[in-house]
Amino acid sequence: MQRPPRRPGQPPRGPAPRKPNPQTQNRRSRPNRKTAPSQGRKRFTQRTQAAPGSRSARRAPKKSFRFPWQKKRNTWFKTEHPAQRRNLPKSNWFPYAPEEPDPKTKTKREKKPFKFELRYRPWMSSISSVLLVIGVGSLVSGIGWLSMQYLMHPKSIVWVNSYLPKPLQIKIAGWDQPYTLIEVQRQLKASGLTMGAKIRLTNGKQADMLIPVLKTDNTCISSLNTCTKIVELRVYRPTQHPYKKAKSPHFQMIDQLPISGMEDWFVQEPFVNAQVDVPPPSDRLLGFDRVEKLERRAPKGGTWLTLKGEQTQLGLYGQIFLYSPKTASLVAMVPWSSPNGELPNWENIASGGTSELVVDQTIGLETLYQVYSLQPDSRNVSGLALKPIDLKQPALNDRQYADAIDLARNGLWSLALKRLQSFGKQTFTKNPVAGLQRDVIAYHAKRFQTQADRDSASTSQQVQAHLLDGRWEKAIAVVKSVPGDREDVIELLNADAGQLIRRLKAATTITPGNRALQAWNAAMKLARSGQSNAIAWL
């Protein structure tokens, strides 16, 4: 049956036509980037396009998948045809089919050898110039420092020779190459000398060592076996030989000091000060035979040593030395003599807490100690100096202080200390020299009382101890307690060599109104000049 025609305005029969999708329409009309030739490769791809209607033309190009973190390959700069890489002529460019590798043979990528190339950078020139300036400046300053050391202390640059060849070594006067102790002993023996006992100067395995050089006097006759004298002191430091490799340790001499001896008059000086009769001094020099260390309470800054000699009638004498490890030098400090036969020792005499060197020069009851204070001294190589604390000049411009110093100079230590007690601590704090003098006087007064109480057994000895210390009233009390010993006291006053008279005169000048002192002056006149002179003096 035939369908009637459609009326105007009547909608068409059947399903409505599908409306075109604008997204799909745009996608199909958008050209594909992979299939569309680029401007750079247009002339290479025009002749190699697939034929229309072929299978390869109908196939849609696949879009490679990549993750968001993967970078997209930049192929925009690759405008070179593959045939150009094969160095083929242009006649063989089209059509081009790359050669397929043989599956049986494995192709390996050729490894190019690594070549290190230092590329120039602009900052390299500035850094290299700075390093060059620093290096040249260090070299010039090092050479200048070595030159100054060579001029001032030539022996301090001996270590440079260990880095120099033998023709270029620096010749230094008074320096020897390292030797073993056996070689040193052989050298001394060849010169008629011997090596004494070694003394360690520093701590540690590689310690500096002092070796005294001895010489025997064949013409000497002595009961004390002092015919072997020390003529030289050498300081050796363990080191490696710069040219030889030996198992036995080597020692290098870093300092040497010749030793002559002590003059006779200096050793007799304490006897002269104590008014003791001694034979006249001779022109000969008294030698040293031993070296000892002064370690007890010794101050820091080095090792303290003393040379020591002995005479039968004069006691001990010697010379103080200081070895400084910083300067590697042995410095002579002060000579000393002790009629009592005691070595010098370090004691804390001053109130400042420092140690002072004390030399005992006591003879009988005549107490005397020479005290030295350690003070800095730039003129000395070691930077230190021992200066005596003397009582020649009063440190304060005061009449009472001057009288106390005068009493101390004449041996009246207790009376001098009583007069100094009136001064306050601030006076001695402001004037350190006055404080040192006060401490020395107090030390003498204490030691004199200890010795007098120990050695005073008889009546005459007790009277002598009291008179030497200025205790006039106690001396009179001892004489009154033992009336039968008055003759011994008269003999004591008559046999006085000047110690008592010197004290009586000094005390009378300062305290003339003391009745006990006047009584002892009269007793001295009675014992020496008779009764008439004593009465006349009174």
Q: How many alpha carbons lie under 13 Å from residue 243 in its C-beta half-sphere? A: 9
Please give the pLDDT value at position 102: 60
Chain-centre distance for alpha carbon 510: 52
Q: Is residue 489 part of a domain?
A: no
* Residue 65 to residues 31, 52, 71, 136, 472, Cα–Cα distance (Å): 19, 28, 12, 63, 126
Give residue-wise pLDDT tens across range 466-475.
Answer: 888 888 998 8
Q: Give bridge partners of residue 378 from the DSSP assignment.
A: none
Domain-located, residue 482: no
What is the predicted pLDDT for the residue at 216?
87
**Alpha helical stretches, state H, 298-395:** none
Residues comprising the chain, all counted: 538
Mean pLDDT confidence for 116-139? 78
Number of structural domains the chain divides into:
1
| Model pLDDT for residues 466-500, shown as the tens digit of each residue | 888 888 998 888 888 877 777 888 888 888 878 88
How far is residue 316's CA from residue 293's CA, in Å, rounded to a whole number?
Answer: 16
pLDDT band at 47 (very low <50, low <70, confident <90, very high): very low
Name the residue with higher pLDDT: 62 or 451.
451
What DSSP element (H or E) covers 307?
A: strand 303-311
For the stretch 197-255, pLDDT in tens is: 999 998 877 889 999 999 987 777 665 556 889 999 999 998 876 555 667 788 888 88
352-395 pLDDT tens trace: 778 899 999 998 888 899 999 998 888 888 888 999 998 989 99
What is the pLDDT at residue 45?
A: 46
Closest C-alpha among 411, 323, 320, 309 to residue 366: 411
Here the tokens at position 51 are 């034929």
Q: Does 187 reside within a domain?
A: yes
pLDDT band at 43 (very low <50, low <70, confident <90, very high): very low
Q: Which helix (H) or strand (E) holds 501?
A: helix 499-510
Q: What is the mean pLDDT of residues 1-28?
A: 59
Q: What pLDDT is recorded for position 101? A: 59
Q: Would 287 be classed as within a structural domain? A: no
Token duo for residue 421:
């007690």
Q: Are 357 and 426 in contact (CB under 8 A)?
A: no
Q: Which of 147, 187, 150 is nearest to 172 (CA)?
A: 150
The average pLDDT across 82-107 equals: 57
Mean pLDDT value of segment 290-306:
90
**Parent domain of 243:** 175-258
**Residue 135 domain flag:** no
The Cα–Cα gap between 516 and 52 comes to 156
Alpha-carbon distance of 294 to 314, in angstroms, equals: 22
Q: What is the arithmetic mean of pLDDT over 306-329? A: 90
Query: Would you say residue 184 lies in a domain?
Result: yes
How far apart CA 481 and CA 496 sit, in angstroms, is 23
406-444 pLDDT tens trace: 999 999 999 999 999 888 888 888 898 999 999 999 999
297: confidence class by pLDDT, cuts 50, 70, 90: confident
The predicted structure's pLDDT at residue 526: 80
Query: In the predicted model, what is the mean pLDDT of residues 38-60?
Result: 50
**192 domain-assigned:** yes
Q: What is the mean pLDDT of the chain?
A: 78
Residue 347 bridge partners (DSSP): 356
Residue 292 has pLDDT above 60, yes or no: yes
> Which pLDDT score, from 0 to 100, does residue 293 have?
93
Statement: the pTM of the whole predicted model exceeds 0.85 = no
Neighbours of 229 (CB within 10 A): 21
Q: What is the dihedral of CA 142, 240, 251, 253, to 10 degrees?
A: -20
